[in-house]
């Protein structure tokens, strides 16, 4: 299971290199054979994983404003803020996180402890560690409603922890044992707005709000949950920085999450925190100072237009082909934009119609790599398609999809 998940998550390694240099494919080798024998030299369009390179051009436009300079003698110590529960948290990063949430209005930061992590993936595990009873006889059940993020099962189970274990679909959770529910909203893969579904005593909830930003969904409320996870990867596109943050209401939970990160990586890169702070500062500045939605250099305006354009083109392609369907989203009033906006999720949850049961395999025949619904606990006639790849990749995808006929 974990093996399979992992292959789905990141399909890299030297074996695929020879071909990739020619085809840019990052497909697993068996699939590549198929591609080699099938469409021959046609370039493989990989929209399987969600590498958020879509915003590169914005950051090129910003030029030196988002450049960071670090001297060799800076930030050598393990320590950043010894008075803070999260002693490796850079004060400038804290400041910019609070400022951005205030500018966007998507989450409460007052009376919240901020815990920084090496991406929200590490914070997710820190939260499991913090919320699991330390001395329970059985590991606590970790659940999420189908369709759930495809990496949750493997990240929960890869170390066979005695503290927590993956228990699948939140709707099928039995008994009255303690549990941890993962709520991703907007949801990965399908973009839906979600709430906890179990809602009984002995349960705690981790809210993964990685996609709760104006370019993906209307900001309809100030999120005010006990434990909220965010990542710079999906907000600004800087996945390579590996920085996420948690907004935590309970001091003891923040302390335990910090302890997990101490034990796991003895803190979080200061260089990454300083660079992330600079990037978030530029985003806040582009919104506050330059106005939204008028100014073309407002990051969220730029990103919203871009996502809207991609979704329009995707829906056109889908209707041209006639073989697929997509979720429909209703416009809502966005507190940030000050107007009605329509959701444009980071992933398209594409359904194959016309009796095609294995949509991933079907699209692979056209050298389009996506992720089967099966990995999200759903059916194989669904696939998740990344909407965040570079323009040329997305163009090829749209062109191929619109020409697919039975």
Give, as ranges, the residues between 129 and 188 that touch its own copies (CB under 8 A).
Answer: 129, 151, 154-155, 158-163
Residue from the set 172, 195, 265, 289 that interacts with its own copies by CB under 8 A: 265
Q: List, as own/partner pairs, every contact residues 282-288 make where C-beta atoms lie below 8 angstroms and the sequence separation is at least 24, other chains included.
A: 282/62, 282/65, 282/66, 283/100, 283/235, 283/236, 284/96, 284/99, 284/100, 284/103, 286/62, 287/103, 287/104, 288/103
- Residue 386 touches its own copies, criterion: CB under 8 A: no
What is the Cα–Cα distance from 146 to 113, expressed in whole angstroms? 30
- How far apart are the C-alpha atoms of 348 and 326, rounded to whole Å? 7
Number of residues lying near its own copies (CB under 8 A) = 85
- The smaller minimum CB distance to its own copies, of residues 85 and 229, is found at 85
Which one of the spans 32-40, 210-218, 267-275, 366-374 is the region binding its own copies (CB under 8 A)?
A: 267-275
Residue 78 or 171: the one with the smaller Cβ distance to its own copies is 78
- Residue 380's CB is within 10 A of a number of other CB atoms, namely 17
What end-to-end distance do the CA atoms of the chain give, in Å?
32
- The token pair that represents 10 in the structure block: 């990141």
Q: Using the rule CB under 8 A, which residue among 225, 234, 275, 400 binds its own copies? A: 275
The full length of the chain comes to 406
Please give the residues from 223 up to 252 whose contact with its own copies meets the rule CB under 8 A: 233, 237-243
Positions in 80-99 near its own copies (CB under 8 A):
80, 82-85, 87
Under rule CB under 8 A, residue 43 binds its own copies? no
Cis omega (within 30 of 0) for bond into 186: yes
Q: Which of residues 194-213 bind its own copies (CB under 8 A)?
A: none
Q: Of residues 47, 143, 180, 268, which one binds its own copies by CB under 8 A? A: 268
Q: Compute the CA torsion angle 265, 51, 154, 267 (nearest 10 deg).
A: 10
Q: Nearer to its own copies by C-beta: 69 or 330?
A: 69
Which residue, 118 or 381, is less far from its own copies as judged by CB? 118
Nearer to its own copies, 234 or 351 (CB): 234
Choose the stretch contacting its own copies; rule: CB under 8 A; options: 79-87, 187-195, 202-210, 324-332. Answer: 79-87
Distance between CA 268 and CA 232 in Å, rounded?
A: 14
């Amino acid at each position: 299971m974990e093996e399979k998940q992992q292959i789905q998550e990141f399909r890299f390694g030297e074996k695929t290199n020879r071909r990739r240099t020619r085809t840019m494919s990052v497909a697993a080798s068996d699939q590549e054979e198929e591609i080699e024998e099938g469409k021959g030299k046609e370039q493989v369009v990989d929209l399987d994983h969600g590498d958020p390179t879509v915003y590169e051009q914005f950051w090129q436009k910003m030029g030196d404003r988002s450049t960071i300079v670090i001297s060799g003698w800076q930030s050598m110590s393990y320590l950043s803020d010894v008075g803070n529960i999260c002693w490796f948290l850079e004060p400038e990063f804290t400041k910019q996180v609070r400022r951005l949430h205030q500018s966007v209005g998507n989450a409460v930061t007052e009376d919240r402890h901020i815990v920084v992590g090496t991406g929200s993936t590490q914070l997710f595990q820190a939260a499991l560690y913090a919320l699991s009873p330390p001395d329970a006889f059985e590991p606590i059940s970790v659940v999420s409603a189908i369709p759930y993020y495809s990496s949750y099962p493997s990240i929960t189970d890869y170390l066979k922890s005695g503290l927590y274990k993956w228990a699948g679909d939140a709707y099928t959770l039995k008994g009255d044992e303690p549990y941890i529910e993962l709520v991703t909203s907007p949801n990965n893969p399908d973009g839906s707005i979600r709430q906890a579904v179990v809602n009984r005593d002995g349960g705690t909830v981790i809210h993964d709000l990685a996609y709760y930003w104006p370019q993906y969904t209307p900001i309809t409320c100030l999120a005010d949950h006990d434990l909220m996870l965010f990542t710079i990867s999906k907000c600004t596109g800087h996945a390579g920085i590996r920085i996420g943050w948690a907004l935590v209401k309970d001091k003891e939970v923040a302390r335990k999450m910090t302890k997990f990160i101490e034990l796991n990586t003895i803190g979080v890169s200061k260089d990454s925190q300083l660079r992330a702070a600079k990037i978030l500062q530029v985003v806040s500045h582009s919104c506050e100072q330059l106005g939204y939605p008028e100014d073309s250099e407002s990051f969220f305006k730029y990103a919203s237009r871009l996502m809207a354009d991609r979704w329009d083109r995707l829906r056109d392609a889908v209707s041209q082909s006639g073989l697929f369907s997509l979720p429909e989203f209703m416009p809502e009033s966005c507190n940030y934009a000050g107007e009605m906006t329509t959701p444009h999720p980071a992933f398209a949850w594409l359904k194959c119609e016309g009796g095609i049961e294995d949509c991933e395999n079907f699209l692979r025949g056209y050298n389009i790599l996506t992720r089967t619904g099966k990995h999200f606990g759903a059916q194989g006639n669904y696939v998740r398609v990344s909407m965040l790849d570079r323009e040329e990749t997305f163009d090829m995808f749209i062109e191929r999809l619109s020409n697919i006929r039975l």
